[in-house]
A and B are shown apart, each in its own frame.
Chain A
Amino acid sequence: MRYLGPRRFERFSVKNGTAEALTSSSEAGIGVRVLRERGWGFAAASEASLAAARETAKRAERLARAAEKTSRESVPFAEERELPRGGRYESPMKEDPFSVTTEAKIALLKEAEARLHTHASVKAGKAALTLWQEEKWYLSNEGASYRAKITHVGAGVEATAVGEGEVQRRSYPNSFGGDFAQAGFEFLRGLDLPSHAEECGKTAHALLTAPACPKGEMDLVLASDQLALQVHESVGHATELDRVLAFEAGFAGTSFVSVSELGKLRYGSPAMTIEADATCPGGLGTFAWDDEGVPGRRYPLVREGVLTGFLSSRETAARVGLPESGGTARADGWARTPLIRMTNVNLAPGERSRGELLEGVKEGVYMETNRSWSIDDKRLNFQFGCEVGRSIKNGELGGLLRNTIYSGMTPTFWNSLVATSDRSTWHLWGLPNCGKGQPGQVGHVGHGAPLGLFRKVRVGGGP
């Protein structure tokens, strides 16, 4: 199996009125993955010559032979009935982001960044945008072939306020770079960064003197952006079949979920339904075929609280007797081997409006926008911190809270889910920074989420 570049990348960042980074990158190369009876081998080279391709293939073959020596067991590989034969896929977009002038991009960032500086306490304002475009040519000696041109874009602003012994950040539309989508420049224009920047500056300043997060067990409402990350860490990773089968134990970790629990494990409350959907328009996890030639698929991982599926590749699907791969094997470019990566792993919306969801809370805390996340290697014990918190009393949002933290154990937490809010509050977030693999790969994934109301969650206990 072979992959080719090129990949284009632009990252423009304006900080405190100056260009923090203006980078334009282009790379190309070839990656060859070889499957022998009992082992895989992968090799990549940036030199795009026939001789280099041959040498790379030989290197991959040598590695596969080395792997074979350490195993007596055949590597199973699921048949795929829908392999592409000369397929083509191109990200839909209205405005090619690479055709927009650099001047226009910088002007947008400068305007947004300037508006972050609402108070002297805002020591750092930052506005940044990132564009990726990968042209991939996939071939396998099974006879599969396709070409894909996939474009991802994203942007965001961030204000950092510094006070007496306190540092607070506020971001829009999300932390760690903003929001991302498979789209053209129209997505970035639609974010309207300048109109939201001032609020970020004001909130960062206000957080410096806001009351600290209360401590104790109480009701918790998570905003869509934070709930998306909760899904990512405690459901998405936990249902990756390579983790479940311990192929990632040495680095990314394993999972508390076992194959025998499929169809049985009470993962969460009946309000919890989550599906993997590689067909979702605009998602970072949307594609026509994965890097094993499997079509992008849509299927449930958790239905009404019960575990119903795994994210799988052709090898892992075959290992556990699934009829086909879930189509989630993707590589971070030509120089990396495909791994199981989340596609768009989405939490289904419920029926309550945002107001109706809050009405269900007598006394609790609302949290929005991640600022810290940590979870154990089995995806059980987690602790998340958020940029912004608000008290909730009798269904009404109160004042700001700073340094908000909540923690818990995955099944207990998801079983405390009372309800999710309706479709109007659901948003498909793009996360372009999911680390996995050795050597390291950065995955682009999507998560759709509404707001969620959870009972008796441990909050507080932070700085």
Chain B
Amino acid sequence: MSPRSSARPTASRAGTASVGAPKGGTGPRPELRRGFEVLDQLLSLVKGQADARFYEDRWVTLRCANSRLYQPHAESVASLSLRVAVEGGQLGVATTTDLTSQGLKRVAEEATSLARVAPPVRGFPGFPSDPGGPTAEVPFAPRAEREDLEGLGDQLAGAFAIIEEGLGPSRISGVYNQGTSVVAVANTSGLRRGYRRSAAQASLLAEQPQKDPPVSGWSEGTHWDPEKVDLLSLAKEAVAATPRTAPRPAKPGKYRVLLMGPAVSELTGHLTWLGLGANAVEEGWSFLVKGQGKRLVAPAFELSDDPFSPHGVPAAVDYEGLPHRSRPIFRQGKAEGPAHDSITGARAERESTRNALPPEAPYGELGPLPLHLTMRAGDRSRDELVKDLKQGILVTRFWYVRSVHPGKTIITGMTRDGTYWVDKGEVQHPIRNLRFTESILRTLAGVESVGERLRGYGDERAFSAHVLAPIVSRSFTFTSATTF
């Protein structure tokens, strides 16, 4: 999924702030201590250069289906990944959940033996040394550690009640994820940094399958503080998104569109994979190959990679351990350069933008990517955005979006869970769902106005979270219609 903003959080209102491991002096914070102990032990077993990551995740997932809690899930997983480099930049990566001395020895041997026979990585600069300066403090909500199942169950029951009160008998589905993750990174060049993040992510789907055609409404949100992912508010939004009258057929064609936050998150999410990373540029198929420095999107659509946005899920360091930085993606409509880690940066004779992903599969093959895309908020309320749209289609959400042509950033997918016809600056009536096939960049080049309210949209473990607002764009191509 996707995110961005400029305000940097200071100390967490919720309490503890996560932080890196200072060199010397006081030692790592308690929440990172176990991770650095494991990493130090692991790195001592490696001859030569290496970097390593320690992950500790404790999450609970409350899933709802057919208006009840279904398949609730909890997990506690600790693991590590080790990347070893031998002469000439030959790299091997091994991972394990076995954190015993024997497990660490095995993983060190495995990564080393892979590295010894690996084809060398072109331009490998060695693992980065510590750049100095503090690791940014990112907010952490201790309540994310508590599995208050009773309290969460009550909230869900409250959300169900709001939906049924607003819509009558409904089929309610959704999910609530809450948890904490520790990321600690160390390497043989002396870098040792990490942080702990908290997050909650939720979505609610209100459906009335008994209606002909069926109608539904959707809401979602992601935040570092579970208190800010309010299921009762989400329930009200899902109710508001649900059509009250039967959706009318709509014809495919080009329309002006108002894309609500969940729909925008599909655009920014796919844009990330379709060209914002150095791999796509190296391979020649990213739109940035010819588009860097050029005006590709409307000036109203400002996008940055901001790992510190207080509206999302802040992250202090990348997976090479370098402290995150905010940087623009589109400024005044012009595209900035791609995301780099230290390896692709060295090859391009650029600094790392500190967007390294974990080197282990499946991330290692993706190369560096920005995970915290953040829009600059506009000044338009929802009603003002509808007025700005004048005539066109309001889309709550897209579904099953896939790339059709990467170089042209063309994607296809369906509308879902609240699609409306707008005329004369007012919502007229719901319409049946449509398939679209459209270029992301063309859509963003047509952005005329931006919503005032930013919200986080993230994946279930907040590995990536985008901070976004609704947009009005002057043209969007719908290619086929449905009967529902």
Q: Which residues of A contact B (CB under 8 A)?
A: 9, 11, 13-29, 39-47, 56, 59-60, 62-67, 69-71, 102-103, 106, 110, 123-124, 128, 160, 162, 165-167, 245-251, 253, 335-337, 372-378, 380-381, 383, 385, 403, 405, 407, 437-440, 461-463
Instruction: Determine if A166 and B72 form an interchain contact, defined as CB atoms under 8 angstroms apart.
Output: no
Distance of B388 from chain A, by nearest CB (Å): 29
Instruction: Determine if B121 and A18 form an interchain contact, defined as CB atoms under 8 angstroms apart.
Output: yes
Q: Which residues of B contact A (CB under 8 A)?
A: 59-66, 68-79, 90-98, 106-107, 110-111, 113-115, 117-122, 147, 149-150, 152-153, 156-157, 171, 173-175, 177, 203, 205, 207, 209, 282-285, 359-362, 364-365, 399-408, 410, 412-414, 416, 433, 435, 437, 460-461, 479-480, 482, 484
Instruction: Determine if B72 and A24 form an interchain contact, defined as CB atoms under 8 angstroms apart.
Output: no
Closest partner residue, chain A, to B405 (CB atom): A463
In angstroms, Cα B72 to Cα A64, docked, is 7
The 7 listed contacts between A and B (C-beta, < 8 Å) are: A26-B96, A44-B76, A166-B407, A246-B173, A383-B412, A405-B404, A461-B437
Instruction: Determine if A45 and B75 form an interchain contact, defined as CB atoms under 8 angstroms apart.
Output: yes
Instruction: Determine if B414 and A377 form an interchain contact, defined as CB atoms under 8 angstroms apart.
Output: yes
Query: Known contacts A66-B150, A167-B405, A439-B461: does B209 contact A42 (CB below 8 Å)?
Result: no
Instruction: Determine if B175 and A438 form an interchain contact, defined as CB atoms under 8 angstroms apart.
Output: yes
Residues of chain B lying within 8 A (CB to CB) of residue A45: 75-77
Instruction: Determine if B400 and A376 form an interchain contact, defined as CB atoms under 8 angstroms apart.
Output: yes
Residues of chain A lying within 8 A (CB to CB) of residue B90: 19
In angstroms, Cα B61 to Cα A45, docked, is 14
Q: Is the interface of A mostly helix, strand, loop or mixed?
A: mixed
Distance of B376 from chain A, by nearest CB (Å): 30
Residues of chain B lying within 8 A (CB to CB) of residue A403: 405
Instruction: Determine if A106 and B70 form an interchain contact, defined as CB atoms under 8 angstroms apart.
Output: no
Closest partner residue, chain B, to A337 (CB atom): B71
In angstroms, Cα B173 to Cα A454, docked, is 37
In angstroms, Cα B60 to Cα A43, docked, is 9
Instruction: Determine if B114 and A24 form an interchain contact, defined as CB atoms under 8 angstroms apart.
Output: yes
Instruction: Determine if B114 and A102 form an interchain contact, defined as CB atoms under 8 angstroms apart.
Output: yes
Contact check: which of A20, A102, A407 meets B365 at CB < 8 Å? A20
In angstroms, Cα B118 to Cα A20, docked, is 10
In angstroms, Cα B56 to Cα A47, docked, is 12
Closest partner residue, chain A, to B435 (CB atom): A381
In angstroms, Cα B76 to Cα A437, docked, is 18
Contact check: which of A15, A47, A66, A462 meets B404 at CB < 8 Å? A462
Instruction: Determine if A247 and B65 form an interchain contact, defined as CB atoms under 8 angstroms apart.
Output: yes
Instruction: Determine if A18 and B70 form an interchain contact, defined as CB atoms under 8 angstroms apart.
Output: no
Residues of chain A lying within 8 A (CB to CB) of residue B175: 250-251, 438
Of A22, A28, A46, A461, most buried by chain B (CB within 10 Å of CB) is A22
In angstroms, Cα B434 to Cα A380, docked, is 12
Closest partner residue, chain A, to B57 (CB atom): A46
Contact check: which of B62, B282, B283, B414 meets A381 at CB < 8 Å? B414
Instruction: Determine if B205 and A250 form an interchain contact, defined as CB atoms under 8 angstroms apart.
Output: yes
Query: Known contacts A14-B119, A24-B110, A407-B480: does B73 contact A376 (CB below 8 Å)?
Result: no
Instruction: Determine if B361 and A62 form an interchain contact, defined as CB atoms under 8 angstroms apart.
Output: no
Q: Which 5 A-B pairs have the closest CB atoms?
A: A250-B173, A21-B364, A11-B361, A123-B284, A167-B407
